[in-house]
Chain A
Amino acid sequence: MIDWSVFGAWISAAMVVWIYSFAYRDNVFYKLAEHMFVGAAAGYSIALALDSLNRVMIKPAVTTPSTFWPNSWHYVIPAILGVLMFAKYSRRYYWLARYAVAVNIAVGTGLAMRTVPIANIVKQVTATIVPLWGSDPVAVLNNWLLVLITIGGLTYFLFTVFPKRAEGARPSPLYYAYRALYYIGIYGMMVGFGALFANTIMTRVGFLISIYLIYLQPQYWATIVAAILAAVAILLSLRKK
């Protein structure tokens, strides 16, 4: 008898090694792992989506119609719209899919727009109105940085009206203020991008560490065999070239 759990653990360890082998060079095992992953992920997503549809609508409609239809009859509307999406595959009736897409976009936009002005504009602007004087020097410094970098960032993206330096004339104080804010914006964004880059490294290394701990370390023989196979495939491909 095959122990499928051991088989699965070996396969998962091998897949991880083969996917990471792309960091060294493209090879046949990487391609195998890539295609298997894409196929399995797509199949799994479809199965889960169908299960969700079955669990939420089809099964209750069939098994408990007396409670489903009075309370949840409106589920039929998205179900019909969902079916209309498949009209895209018909040359004659493809236009029907537009109704489903239109409703989908309209509902999404409507739901988002009812709260976006408060959540993403008013609250964010309010959060930048902070006291610039106080007893805590660290908090004061933070608040100054927040205000200056916010205004500086906005100034950097000002493409319509901005003070220009007339040739031969002395620049106006407004011009100096604009340039100062412009550079504060640039450096503020650079610091932001630096933080983003550092966090990116942290996340990717975190993924590698956890994948090693969960999948590779417990199945070290599978890891070694998969790594040797990938190395041989890379060497063979280099030799062919």
Chain B
Amino acid sequence: MSGSISLGKILESRELLYTLLLISVILPIIHPLGIPIAVSARTKAVYNYIENNLKPGCHVYFEIYYEVAARGELEPNVVALTKHLFDKGCKIVYVSLASYGVVVFNLLKSTAADIFQGKEYGKDYVFLGYVAGGESAAASLAKSIKGTVSTDNYGNRLEDLPLMREVDKATDFDLVIIASSGTDTFAYYVRQWYTPYNVPLLFAALSIIAPSIEPYVGAKQAVGMLVGQRAGAEYEVLVGRLGLGMASMDAQSTSHMLVLAFIVIGNVVYWSRRLSSKKGGGK
């Protein structure tokens, strides 16, 4: 009896779980297993939407709203989407309603420098930088970008940038992409961009918040959604540029198997204790 209790105590200790989780993450990165991944219908639908609906020279608005910690989940999506859009000949206006958006955009440019190579700043893409004001700022940008901010992130006047002479308001864009680690950001754009101007929205969200914003996708208020690192890896396969997303998939698989094993063990221990306490007089 005491032996089973001590085993239970060992299995209950969070230190053991964390250590095993670390091992299950590190080992497959050092020795890749090469577990194949299939492209889900949801990711394929997003790819097809861009492939079929965006023409060369189209304009895309890209909201970058995630912190450095969330890079692993969202950056693979942002990089793969940017590559796809540039390959299609689209022009992109990046903006961030979060102050840390400036940091992650700079990191994005340095880690995916090959994508931006050959693209001219001001003509093919622009980064407006951090625009303060949350939902009010989103509403103002939808009405008029130049009426909201007069310069980009680097202090250039918007009138001097060729791309910004082509676009100013929500209806000038063919697609609006929101890559965010916060639930509210998606609601801002549904309320201030989709509902009044009917601009197509595309979401790239953390896995943790995907269930919360699923109703917007279900109600066709967004054309699609890329969910977390897994969707990033799938999109990397589709656009033919493997990166952080694909590198993480083996570790994701092994760590999930470990969590599943612990859920099973936890249930076995729980039920065995419950049954043994019933046998022993309900104590």
| Chain A residues proximal to chain B, CB less than 8 Å | 23-24, 44-45, 48-49, 51-53, 55-56, 59-60, 64, 68, 72, 107-108, 111-112, 114-116, 118-120, 123-124, 126-127, 192, 195-196, 199-214, 217
Contact = CB atoms under 8 A, between A and B. Distances in A.
Interface in B185-233: 187, 190-192, 194-196, 206-211, 215, 218-221, 227-230
B50 interface: no
Given A112-B191, A212-B26, A212-B29, 15 more contacts: A45-B100, A48-B99, A49-B99, A56-B150, A59-B151, A111-B135, A118-B195, A119-B187, A124-B215, A124-B219, A199-B211, A202-B208, A206-B248, A208-B22, A213-B248
B251 to A, nearest CB: 5
B149 A207 contact: no
Given A48-B130, A206-B229, A209-B25, A23 B18 contact: yes
Contact of A217 (B29, B73, B229): B29
Contacts of A203: 73, 206-208, 228
A56 B95 CA distance: 14
A193 B219 CA distance: 21
B267 interface: no
Given A52-B129, A127-B219, A202 B207 contact: yes
The 8 A-B pairs with the shortest beta carbon distances in the complex, nearest first, are A210-B72, A127-B219, A203-B208, A199-B207, A115-B195, A202-B207, A48-B99, A206-B229
Interface string B79-102: 000000000000000000001101
B275 interface: no
A213 B135 contact: no
A241 B211 CA distance: 44
Contacts of B178: none
Interface stretch (B2-10, B161-169, B234-242, B252-260): B252-260
B158 to A, nearest CB: 11
Interface string B1-21: 000000000000011001001
B119 to A, nearest CB: 23
Interface in B125-166: 129-132, 134-136, 139, 149-151, 153, 155, 157
Contacts of A209: 25, 29, 72, 229, 248, 251-252, 255
B136 A107 contact: yes
B69 interface: yes
Given A127-B220, A195-B211, A213-B72, A45 B191 contact: no
B70 interface: yes
A124 B218 CA distance: 8
Nearest to B191: A115
B130 A202 contact: no
B261 interface: no
A214 B72 CA distance: 9
Contact of A119 (B69, B70, B153, B221): B221
